Amino acid sequence: MRPGIVINGEVSHDCSVSRSIGWFLEGVLPLASFGKRDLKLTLTGVTDGYENEEVSIDYVKASMLPVLKEFGVGADESEGPGAMLRVTRRGAAPGGGGSVEVFCPMVKALTPINIVDPGMIKKIRGNAVSCRIPPTSPARVAHAAKGILHKLIPDVWIHTDTNSGSKTNGPGGCGESPGLKCILSAESTTGVTLSAEVCLDYRLERGAVLPEDLGVQAATLLLDEVRKGGCVDSACQSFIFLLMCLTPEDVSRVRVGVLSRYSVTTLRLLKQVFGVEMKVTGEGKVDGGGDVDGGGVARSVLLSCLGIGFRNV
């Protein structure tokens, strides 16, 4: 790392297999918007397999890139394309071998946000991905997830993405390690997107977890995010908090579900580094339990702050 001006341009990097590529992108994306040029980034490493601990590239594409657009990054299509992510090759943990291409345009300044209405869920989309595993496994994952979700909403579509090692280059190929995952995204009537993902733990013995179990777990996690009543899901909270601090000197507001421990730590760090203190207001009771304040109900949380006025000069 060389501290200083963010130049951007065309950059390639080989990520460590101890972390997923999504983990690297979570730190790169807030910086990429403030470079001197648009960023064209190629990352190689693990694309899938760490979803139980870190965000994946599919999660970055489903949840984080739409958040960037809300802040004005690539929002005006007349000025050029917005932030994009393309998977050129899958690589499951622990061996990796995947490749991802990312494009992020530069901006002069971010736009303050006001995302407070979660709306009603109108459709659910998903992707069941496999690497070096029979095609029936992702189909079983999708079928199990749809079996739960179709009881609540009719518009559910889950794509199955099967990758084999026979295609060494280009789309459809994958690394040496087998893997299986599922990511689901719920879109509301107000444009809010909530995502949840789960993967097969490569450290477990073969057959310890059935594909049906994976699909049920993914659907349950997504419904839990919807139940919390937030406008962003738990894994995206710290990302949106950081961008709110970097907006112009105007008020940004966002409604989230229950604050995660990671998000609480992030709020403390943002106050220490930027001197920005979020105003936190608990409101909007949701039936069904969860983190409670004595009443047996989970509460959504409204956070607002004044940006530091950071500009790309």
pLDDT in tens, 154-164: 999 999 999 98
Give pLDDT, residue 80. 81
Residue 205: pLDDT band by 50, 70, 90 thresholds?
confident
- The set of residues, in sequence order, having a beta carbon less than 8 Å from that of 205 and lying 6+ positions away, is none
Query: Taking the model in full, what pTM does it have?
Result: 0.90
**What single-letter DSSP state applies at residue 48?**
B
Phi/psi region, residue 80 (left: phi>0; alpha: psi -120 to 50; beta: rest), is: left
Q: What is the largest CA-CA distance in the chain?
A: 56
Q: Is the dihedral of CA 150, 60, 72, 79 positive or negative?
A: negative
Share of the chain above pLDDT 70, in %: 92
Residue 294: pLDDT band by 50, 70, 90 thresholds?
very low
- The set of residues, in sequence order, having a beta carbon less than 8 Å from that of 268 and lying 6+ positions away, is none
Nearest Cα residue to 64 out of 37, 45, 84, 50: 84
Give pLDDT, residue 290. 45
pLDDT surpassing 80 at residue 3: no
